[in-house]
Amino acid sequence: MSGPRIVIVGAGFAGYRTARTLARMSRNKADITLLNPTDYFLYLPLLPQVAVGILEPRRVAVSLTGTLPGVRLVLGEAHGLDMDARTVHFTDPEGDEGTLAYDRLVLAVGSVNKLLPIPGVAEHAHGFRGLPEALYLRDHVTRQMELATAEEDPDRCAARCTFVVVGAGYTGTEVAAHGKMYTDAQVRGHPLRRGMRPRWLLLDIAGRVLPEMDERLSRTADRALRQRGVEVRMGTSVKEALHDGVLLTDGEFLPTRTLVWCVGVRPDPLVESTGHPLERGRLVVDPYLQVPGRPEVFACGDAAAVPDLNRPGQYTPMTAQHAWRQGRTAAVNVAASLGVGERRPYRHRDLGFVIDLGGALAAANPFGVPLSGPVAGAVTRGYHLAAMPGNRVRVAADWLLDSVLPRQAVQLGLVRSASVPLDTASPELARTPGRPSGASPGPASHRPAHPPTEEPGRGPRAAHPAPGPVRRADIPAEGDP
Query: How far from chain centre, in Å, is Cα 413?
Result: 22
What pLDDT does residue 448 have?
Answer: 33
Q: 61-63 and 87-91: which strand pairing?
A: unpaired
Per-residue pLDDT 10s for the chain (481 aa) are 568 999 999 999 999 999 999 999 988 889 999 999 999 999 999 999 999 999 999 999 999 999 999 999 999 999 999 999 999 999 999 999 999 999 999 999 998 878 788 999 989 998 898 899 999 999 999 999 999 988 889 999 999 999 999 999 999 999 999 999 999 988 886 777 666 889 999 999 999 999 877 788 899 899 999 999 999 999 999 999 999 999 999 999 999 999 999 987 888 889 988 999 999 999 999 999 999 999 999 999 999 999 999 999 999 999 899 999 999 999 999 999 999 999 999 998 877 888 999 888 888 888 888 888 889 999 999 999 999 999 999 999 999 999 998 888 888 877 777 778 776 555 565 444 444 433 333 333 333 333 333 332 333 333 333 333 333 333 333 333 3
- Please tell me the total number of residues recorded for the chain in this structure: 481
Cα separation, 298 vs 399, in Å, equals 38
Closest CA to 256 of 268, 271, 244, 241: 244
Q: For residues 161 and 148, is the Cβ–Cβ distance under 8 A?
A: yes
Spatial neighbors of 419 by CB under 8 A, at least 6 apart, are 132, 136, 430, 431
Q: 294-299 and 104-107: which strand pairing?
A: parallel
Q: For residues 183 and 163, is the Cβ–Cβ distance under 8 A?
A: yes
The DSSP H or E segment spanning 246 is strand 245-248
Cα separation, 408 vs 186, in Å, equals 9
Q: 162-166 and 199-204: which strand pairing?
A: parallel
Closest CA to 279 of 89, 12, 458, 457: 457
What pLDDT does residue 349 have?
Answer: 80
Question: What 3-state DSSP class applies to 35?
Answer: strand
Cα separation, 291 vs 294, in Å, equals 5
Q: How far apart are the first and last CA of the chain?
A: 48
Q: Residue 209: what are its φ and ψ, rounded to 5°?
A: -65, 145
HSE at residue 432, side-chain half, CA atoms within 13 A, is 9
What pLDDT does residue 341 have?
Answer: 92
What pLDDT does residue 133 have?
Answer: 92
According to DSSP, residue 360 is labeled T
| Side chain identity at residue 87, one-letter code | T
pTM as predicted: 0.85
What pLDDT does residue 356 have?
Answer: 92
What pLDDT does residue 427 have?
Answer: 59
Cα separation, 323 vs 136, in Å, equals 27
Cα separation, 172 vs 181, in Å, equals 14
Question: What 3-state DSSP class applies to 61?
Answer: strand
The β-bridge partners of 227 are none
Question: What 3-state DSSP class applies to 420?
Answer: coil
**What are the angstrom distances between the C-alpha of 335 and each of 107, 340, 341?**
15, 5, 7
**What are the angstrom distances between the C-alpha of 35 and each of 31, 100, 102, 290, 296?**
13, 9, 12, 19, 17
What pLDDT does residue 15 have?
Answer: 98
| Side chain identity at residue 412, one-letter code | L
Question: What 3-state DSSP class applies to 301?
Answer: helix
What pLDDT does residue 473 have?
Answer: 34
Q: Residue 331: what are its φ and ψ, rounded to 5°?
A: -65, -45
Closest CA to 48 of 475, 424, 471, 407: 471
Please give the angle made by the CA atoms of 442, 448 and 449, to the nearest 5 degrees: 125
According to DSSP, residue 161 is labeled T
Cα separation, 366 vs 21, in Å, equals 25
Closest CA to 221 of 171, 263, 271, 257: 171
**Phi/psi-derived region of residue 256, left when phi > 0, alpha when psi is between -120 and 50, beta in every other case:** beta
Radius of gyration for the alpha carbons in the chain, expressed in angstroms and rounded: 22
Q: For residues 169 and 264, is the Cβ–Cβ distance under 8 A?
A: yes
What pLDDT does residue 406 have?
Answer: 86
The β-bridge partners of 17 are none
Cα separation, 241 vs 111, in Å, equals 24
